[in-house]
Amino acid sequence: MAPSRGLARLLPRPAISNTGTYSRTMSFARRAYSSFAEQLANPANRVQSYISRSRDPFVNLSIEDYILRASPPDSTVLFLYTNRPCVVIGRNQNPWSEVNLGILQAATSRGTTAKETEPPAIGDVHLVRRRSGGGAVFHDEGNLNWSITCPRTEFTRDKHAEMVVRALRKIGIERARVNERHDIVLDQGHERHPSDPQDTHRTSYTVDEGGPRPLKVSGSAYKLTRGRALHHATTLLASPNLHVIPQYLHSPARKSIQAKGVESVSSPVANIGLDVEMFQKRLQEEFSGMYAHQGTTTTVQTVGEEHLKIPEIRKGYNELKTDDWMWSQTPQFNIAFEGPARSEIDINVHHGIIKTLETKGGSFPDDMLHELQTALVGQKLQDIGDWSQCLQSRIEPWHSDYGIIADRLETLLPVPQFERP
Amino acid sequence: MAARFSVARAARQLTSSAARPQAPRACPWQKASSQQPRLFTVSAQVKEKKYTEDHEWIEASADGKTFTLGISEYAAKALGDVVYVELPEVDLEVSSGEAIGAVESVKSASDILSPIGGTVTEVNDALQEKPGNLNKDPEGDSWIAKIAVTGEPEGKLMTKAEYTAFTEDA
């Protein structure tokens, strides 16, 4: 992994100051982030443990990606973090079909401030596209994210989900097991049957057919690089927002969109009902125990926003926040909806750009179709902003039928603008 | 640090100390680089199909000016069911060692690297429609991209026999 090569560049220059202008806090912060980079890349640290104090999903995912890329090739690293409310979609997902984009911005959209108190009433919810595969999930402060970076040769999709199940069972969550999708579920069987307590794929309450469906409490995704594998997962411990999660993950456009890429598999979810801090500690202990044969785990180091000073982390953070990554990374898709005069409007989008716009059936006039095509084909979705304003500024003379189409597009294909750093 | 990070496709993998330096990036193969293409003819060493330690294969065209890139059967098997292939855009310029796409299988994203620099001239669009074909014929019909070369390949390239030995050792 040649950490020494990269390290020299990412370490800050020593704080040389003979004028005494260097503040104490500044040099402390520098020490903190340089020591993180040093500790992480040190080949002697074969078992490492980190926790983030940041609640920013972009920061946490960027630190995690840095761990994947900068940790020694044979090391195993645990990283724990919780995010403020956000929806995180998989690398190859379609945000328009997976997420109810219209309710993400509680207080800012459409210039109203009243929505903050209306359901779902949890304020702004950020949208994030992660680098790993898999489906869409909702995060909040009651959800603990754990991630393990380990050598590819040691990696299996279940190995660390099993570790988490062992930690859960040790604190009395005996219904927890790993399912066939590599997720962690709580079995809901009514009767207790004998089972092997060491079997992390079966509990005393596992029901083979029929019976109550297990509830999902943790979902996994993976990113594989050359010699390394990242497994990260959610863990619903005490989310106050369970009742609104389906609202965020159910899009009004799902039935109108035919997309390439990865569709989420929706599952009923539950809270495990554990205190986040307590479970963090138990998980850190389970991890250290599991890898004790490989070496002593480093003292848990806290990381946070100050580590954006590490250029690689800042770069990853900036990339995650770009419109290109959020919107144009979306795999090719078609959206079809009812237009004026009983027509169906069919739009194809590839690399975030409208490639074709056609109508089917009905009696939609050719000249209007041509106006729409001229206005929209070649357009990058992420640059549209407001559909009505966009169309009105490009089509002359205006017709109320364009307004109908603009309203449909605003519902089905909105591009919410989040504040940028 | 050279703008290259490498990624493997298969589960069994060497942990060579010769691993490459890495650069984090979100989606590099959709951004054009500023490098100008140069005319180049690939040398004899890749006229025969060759394999990389990252489990890609490359094979030069008869005139040696372009080569076809794909992932090995071994890699395709190790990945499990492929559900999506991220293909590069035509005209993308790629440096050797850079990611030119990615594969998603069973919730896992894995990058596809090019062992050679050049300009993407063609991508296998059929994989957009049927990503699962990558599991069926990764070294034939399910090639990933064709690239007009602008340089010599970098890194270790192996013959079929050497590669087979390499995957058996891992």
Q: What is the CATH number of the domain that holds B52?
A: 2.40.50.100
Q: A314: which chain B residues are within 8 Å (Cβ-Cβ)?
A: none
Please determine, for residue A167, whether its predicted confidence score (pLDDT) is greater than 60.
Answer: yes
**What is the predicted pLDDT for the residue at A129?**
97
Shortest CB distance from A1 goes to which of B10, B19, B25?
A: B19
CA distance to partner chain A, nearest, from residue B12 (Å): 5
Q: Does A158 touch chain B (CB under 8 A)?
A: no
Residue B76 maps to a domain: yes
Residue B7 maps to a domain: no
Residue B169 maps to a domain: no
Nearest residue in chain B measured CA to CA from A152 = B11
Q: Does B132 touch chain A (CB under 8 A)?
A: no
Q: Which of A259, A178, A260 is nearest to A220 (CA)?
A: A178
Does A74 sit within 8 Å of B89, measured CB to CB?
no
Burial B28-55 (b: 16+ CB within 10 A, else e): bbbeeeeeeeeebebeeebeebbbbbbb
Interface of B with A in 4-63 (CB under 8 A): 5-17, 19-27, 30-31, 54
Q: Mean of the pLDDT values across residues A211-240? A: 93
- Lookup result for tokens 């509680």: A106
CA distance to partner chain B, nearest, from residue A400 (Å): 37
Q: For B68-79, how does the pLDDT look when each residue is reduced to its tens digit (9 = 90+)? A: 999 999 989 988
Overall number of domains in chain B? 1
Q: A233: which chain B residues are within 8 Å (Cβ-Cβ)?
A: none
**What is the predicted pLDDT for the residue at B116?**
87
- Domain boundaries, position B141: 36-158
- As a whole-number percent, the residues of chain A with pLDDT over 70 amount to 87
Q: Does B130 touch chain A (CB under 8 A)?
A: no
Query: Which three-class secondary structure state does DSSP give residue A227?
Result: coil
Q: Which of A112, A69, A104 is nearest to A88 (CA)?
A: A104
Q: For A404-420, how does the pLDDT look when each residue is reduced to its tens digit (9 = 90+)? A: 999 999 999 998 876 64
CA distance to partner chain B, nearest, from residue A396 (Å): 34
Does B30 sit within 8 Å of A224, measured CB to CB?
no
Residue B3 maps to a domain: no
Residue B134 maps to a domain: yes
Q: Mean of the pLDDT values across residues A26-47? A: 78
**Which one of B13, B74, B107 would you mutate to disrupt binding with A, by most A Cβ within 10 Å of its Cβ?**
B107
Residue B15 maps to a domain: no
Q: For A108-162, how does the pLDDT look when each residue is reduced to its tens digit (9 = 90+)? A: 444 444 444 455 567 788 999 999 999 999 999 999 999 999 998 888 899 999 9
CA distance to partner chain B, nearest, from residue A27 (Å): 26
Please determine, for residue A43, whether its predicted confidence score (pLDDT) is greater than 80.
Answer: yes
Compute the distance between CA of residue A399 and CA of residue A393 in angstroms, rounded to an integer: 13
Give the number of beta-carbon pairs within 8 Å between A and B.
137
**What is the predicted pLDDT for the residue at A204?**
85
**Domains with residue ranges and CATH for chain A:** 3-327 (3.30.930.10), 333-412 (3.30.390)
Residue B167 maps to a domain: no
Peptide bond into A397 cis (omega under 30): yes
CA distance to partner chain B, nearest, from residue A262 (Å): 7
Mean pLDDT of chain A: 86
Q: For A286-324, how does the pLDDT look when each residue is reduced to its tens digit (9 = 90+)? A: 999 999 999 888 888 999 999 999 999 999 999 999 999
**What is the predicted pLDDT for the residue at B6?**
36
Shortest CB distance from A315 goes to which of B24, B86, B110?
A: B24
Compute the distance between CA of residue A148 and CA of residue A155 in angstroms, rounded to an integer: 10
Shortest CB distance from B11 goes to which of A134, A152, A312?
A: A152
Does A227 sit within 8 Å of B84, measured CB to CB?
no
Sheet containing A86-89: which strands, arranged edge to edge? A126-129, A86-89, A137-139
Strands B66-71 vs B145-149: parallel, antiparallel or unpaired? antiparallel
* pTM, two decimal places: 0.83
Taking each helix axis from N to C end, the angle separating A366-376 and A387-394, rounded to the nearest 10 degrees, works out to 110
Nearest residue in chain B measured CA to CA from A261 = B84
Q: Which of A167, A160, A168, A217 is nearest to A188 (CA)?
A: A217
Predicted confidence band of residue B16 (pLDDT cuts 50, 70, 90): very low
CA distance to partner chain A, nearest, from residue B149 (Å): 23
Nearest residue in chain A measured CA to CA from B9 = A226
**What is the predicted pLDDT for the residue at A208?**
79
Residue B53 maps to a domain: yes
Compute the distance between CA of residue B23 and CA of residue A43 in angstroms, rounded to an integer: 19
Shortest CB distance from A260 goes to which of B27, B84, B108?
A: B84
Please determine, for residue A380, whether its predicted confidence score (pLDDT) is greater than 80.
Answer: yes
**What is the predicted pLDDT for the residue at B69?**
92
Does B108 sit within 8 Å of A132, measured CB to CB?
yes
